[in-house]
Structure 1
Amino acid sequence: MTLERLAKDIMASADTEAKKMIKAAKNEAKGIVSEAEARAASITEDASGKAGKEADQIAREVVASARQANQKEILVARRIELDATLASARTLLGDASLAGRASLLKHLVKQAGEVSQGKMVLRPTSIDCAALADSAKEYAIGDDVDGLGGFVLEAEDGSISFDMRFDTLLESAWIEQRAAINETLFA
């Protein structure tokens, strides 16, 4: 064997060995890339799942918050409407030209007769002073009381009194009939 031949054999052997090493390195690189891609896909899937769950939770919270805000707005609007209705009723009852006012006062005087005991003093509201002076002659007329209408009937000694003012009657009716009022206004 000549030196030239030996050099060619060494070269061929080195070339074959280099090709094997390059092939092995490429296969190892493919394995590393595949493993990295699998890990990246797993991380992406986990992150996507977590983000999806968080997005669903946020969406539920936003919907719940919006519902709560809507319910609050509805309650506030209802409260405003109830207050306006009560104010309107007070205005109507405080009007001296209210239709049926005289008959309402006569009815209250009749009720007063059913509950009165002994000598009683009728203390009218200023708006109904003249009307009650005519229809309640069986009672002594006392000082005026504040109110939308009606009167307070009290014993001469002050031991007992019956509040028959429109204000008090309206408040009692308003409380007792609250469910019916809500049904009428908001059903």
Structure 2
Amino acid sequence: MGLDKVVKDIMDKAEADSRDITAKAAAEAAEIKKSAEAEAKQIIAAENARAEQAISKMRQRELSSAKLDVKKAKLNSEKDVLAETHEAFVRQLSTLPREKKADLLQKLVKLAKKDIPQGKIFTNAADADLVKDSGYEYGGNVKCIGGIVVTSVDGSVNLDYTFDSILEDVWTSSMKPVSDILFGSR
């Protein structure tokens, strides 16, 4: 029976070693699993953070783009209103009563006489008879909504007092105040 005891001791020892190895392997597997889960959580957290950052940037871009679109639309609307206002001025000048137009033309002739005492006067065809007593030789018609163009005798000096050019000068110099009136100060 001594041999049976030795075999039994060897078997017991082998079983104990087997249990130890299995326990160590299970512990290592658990540690590997725990480490992998922690690493997976870090990867997921990092990816979530990147995704949130990308979403935030995308939202910011969309918001900026929307603000820019609104600003463009507002500016285009303001531009349209200014164009309509300008056209309204042109219509008003085009439809001035004859007496008012005659009075304005006389004032423009008087102003021109200061710089060009003698020369030729031009106006649109409808206003030609309103400048016949201007003291200038009638030079012909010019395309304009009203007003006069006066040229010196030698042609070296030319004054453009057409309503068109006066309106453009006034419009250009008054753009900011007109915008402020129409749209408020910015």
Normalising by structure 2, what TM-score?
0.84
Which residue of the partner structure matches residue 79 of structure 2?
Answer: 79
Which residue of the partner structure matches residue 108 of structure 2?
Answer: 108
CA distance in 2 between counterparts of 1:26 and 1:80 reads 79
Contact 2:120 2:138 in 1 (8 A): yes
Point out the more displaced range, 18-27 or 172-181: 18-27
Q: What letter matches 1:97 in structure 2? A: P
2:184 aligned with 1:182: no
Which residue of the partner structure matches residue 124 of structure 1?
Answer: 123
Point out the more displaced range, 96-105 or 22-31: 96-105
Which residue of the partner structure matches residue 159 of structure 2?
Answer: 162
User: Runs in 1 of length 4+ with deviation above 6 angstroms?
Assistant: none
Q: Per the alignment, do residues 142 and 55 of structure 1 end up closer, same or farther by CA in structure 2, a change over 3 Å counting?
A: same
Q: Deviations over 1:104-148 (max 9, x none)?
A: 22321221232223x222222112222223xx4422222111100
Unaligned runs of 5+ in 2: none
Point out the more displaced range, 161-170 or 78-87: 78-87
Provide the identity percentage.
Answer: 27
Unaligned runs of 5+ in 1: none
Contact 1:125 1:165 in 2 (8 A): no
Q: Deviations over 1:47-90 (max 9, x none)?
A: 22222222222222222222222222222222222222222221
Contact 1:92 1:98 in 2 (8 A): no
Which residue of the partner structure matches residue 29 of structure 1?
Answer: 29
CA distance in 2 between counterparts of 1:129 and 1:99 reads 14
CA distance in 2 between counterparts of 1:127 and 1:74 reads 40
Question: 1:138 is paired with a residue of what secondary structure?
Answer: coil
- Cα deviation, residue 10, structure 1: 4.4
Question: 1:163 is paired with a residue of what secondary structure?
Answer: strand
Which residue of the partner structure matches residue 62 of structure 1?
Answer: 62
Contact 1:148 1:166 in 2 (8 A): yes
- Cα deviation, residue 171, structure 1: 0.9
Question: 1:147 is paired with a residue of what secondary structure?
Answer: coil
